[in-house]
Structure 1
C-alpha cells in the first residue's frame, strides 16, 4: 500500500491511498488519527490504513495536488554509504579526502541532520541551489520512513541537494552545503514496508533534463550500499529520540562527474523501484 499527503477539494491537507492511477482520500478521524504521521505511528500501520473508510473524494494521480509526505518529523541523512559517494567526496577536497575514506570503512557512519519540515518540498515543487554556490548536484536516495520507536514503517524517495564546492572547501561547512530552504525533496508518497520489493530488487535511477534534453542519466541498486538499514538506525537512535518519527535518507550511489553542476530550470527525476518517481524543478536565488 502507498499513502500520499495531498490537498482535497476544499484545499485542506488530507491523506489518501494510492492505486495505479488514482488517489482515494481516507477519513483519518475514523481511526482517531490527526495526521499522516499519527497513522504512521500506529502499531500496525497497514491494518490501520486498510480499515480507514474513504471520504468519497478521489483524484487521478495526474490531477492530485500532492504534498511532501511529512508532518512534524525530522529529516536526517547518512553519507558515504556507497563507494561512488566516497570517491566523489574525496574528489571534492584533498584536505578532507582522508576523512571520507576513513568514514566509509569505519564502524560509525556519517549521519547528519538534513531538514526541518518547512525546508522540504514534494513532487512537482521546486528545489533550490544556493545563490553562493557554483557546483551543485542532486543526490537520489532511498529514504526510510520511521515511527517514533524507529521502526521502519515505509519508504519514500529523497533528494539530498548538495553544494559540492562549499563542502569541498571545508568539511566543517557541511551544514551550509546541505541545509537551507528547499534543500530536500521527499515523495511522491510513502510505500509501506510490506509493499516494497526485496532490497536486491530495488533500483535507483536519476535523470536530469535541461532544455528538453537529458543531460544526465544513471542508475544504481540498493545492494550497492556498504551498510544495512538496521546498522544506520542503530546509530541514529543512540542517545536520541524522535517523538514525531523521522525520515532517514540512506546515502547516494549516484554522483555526477566533477564537470557537471545543476542549473536553474533543470528538471530532476528520481525513480525508485516499488515507490515511483519524484520530480522537481530547480531554482536559484
Structure 2
C-alpha cells in the first residue's frame, strides 16, 4: 500500500492511499506522521486502517489526475555516503583527479565499521515530484544521486520507503572532503517521493531496484540501474548509527546511498529532466534549473 499527498481543490495538502491499480482514496490527514500516530494509538496496522477507509469511501480518484507534492513534510533528511562500491569508486575518482589506481580515505570509509552519515536537507529545502531541483551556481560538475529513502520514527523504526534524489556537486566534494556540506546542501538540492510504501507490505527491501534516467531536450542521455542488495551495509545498521545519541523526529528520512553514477564526463544542464524509479514505490520526476549566484564576487 502506497501513501501520497496531493494538492486538493482548497489548495491544501491531502494525504491519500493508492491501490495497486492506481486508485486514490483520501485519508483524513494532511501529513504522514499523524496518520501513523493515529493507527498506533488505535493498535491497528496502517494497511488495515486504509482497507476500512476504502470500504467506506464513496469517492475515488485516479493517480494521474492529482497534483502530487512531497509525501510528507520530513523535518530532516539525512544521507549515507560511500555505501556502494560504485560510490566509493566515484569518490576516489573525484579526490584523485582520475587516478583510479590511487586509494584515498574513501576506501577507509567504505570498509570502516562506522558508516558515513551526513545532514542533507530540511522540509523547506526539499521538493517533491514534478517540481524543480536546482544546480548550484559555483559548481561545474553536478549529478543526481538516486537512492532508496527510509522513513523512520523517533524510535529509529523504519515505517516506510520512498524514492530520493541526493543532488551532488562532484567537483566541490572532490576538491576537499571538508566541503561536503556545500557539495550536498543548497536550495532545492533534495527531492523525495512520489509515494511512501508502507514497511509492513515490503517482504525484502533489498529486492528493490533503482532506475535513473536523465533527459536533455526530452532525449534520454543517461540510464542506469542497481539493486539495493548491492549495498555494503544493512539498512538497520545505517539507522542505528543515525539515531545513536541523536534526537530524531518522527518522519525523518534517511537516504541510503547511490550505486548509479553517470559517466565522469557527464554533468547536469539547465533544462534537463531526471526520473528516478523504484518499482513498487513509483517514479520521482524533477526538472533541473540553474541557480543564479547570490554573491556576485564568488567565482
- State the TM-score, normalizing by the size of structure 1: 0.92
Structure 1 window deviating more from structure 2 (93-102 vs 15-24): it is 93-102
Shift of 1:185: 0.8
Contact 1:150–1:245 under 8 Å retained in 2: no
Please give the residue correspondences for 1:60-71 in structure 2 after superposition, counting only pairs within 5 Å.
60-71=62-73
Partner residue of 1:37? 33
Is the aligned partner of 1:76 residue 2:78? Answer: yes
Match of 1:21 in 2: 22
Q: Distance in 1 between matches of 2:234 and 2:155?
A: 18
Distance 1:21 1:46 in 2: 16
Runs of 5+ unmatched residues, structure 2? 292-299
Write the deviation string for residues 248-270 of structure 1: whole angstroms up to 9, x where unpaired: 00000001121000011111111
TM-score normalised by length of structure 2: 0.88
User: Structure 1, residues 152-181: CA drift from partner, whole Å, max 9, x if none?
Assistant: 111000000001111111111110110111
Q: Partner residue of 1:236?
A: 242
Q: How many residues align?
A: 280
CA contact 2:32–2:251 (8 Å) conserved in 1: no
Contact 1:73–1:245 (CA under 8 A) maintained in structure 2: yes
When Rg is computed on C-alpha atoms for both structures, the one with the higher figure is 2
Greater than 4 Å deviation, 4+ residue runs: 51-57
Distance in 2 between residues matched to 1:59 and 1:106, nearest whole Å: 48
- 2:5–2:31: 8 Å Cα contact kept in structure 1? no
The correspondence of residues 123-202 of structure 1 with structure 2, limited to 5 A, is 123-202=129-208
Q: Contact (CA 8 Å) 1:89, 1:97: kept in 2 or not?
A: no
Change (3 A) 1:203 1:261: same
User: What is the Cα-based RMSD across aligned positions, in Å?
Assistant: 1.9
CA contact (8 A) 1:209 1:267 kept: yes
* Alignment-derived partner of residue 283 in structure 1: 289
More strand by share: 1
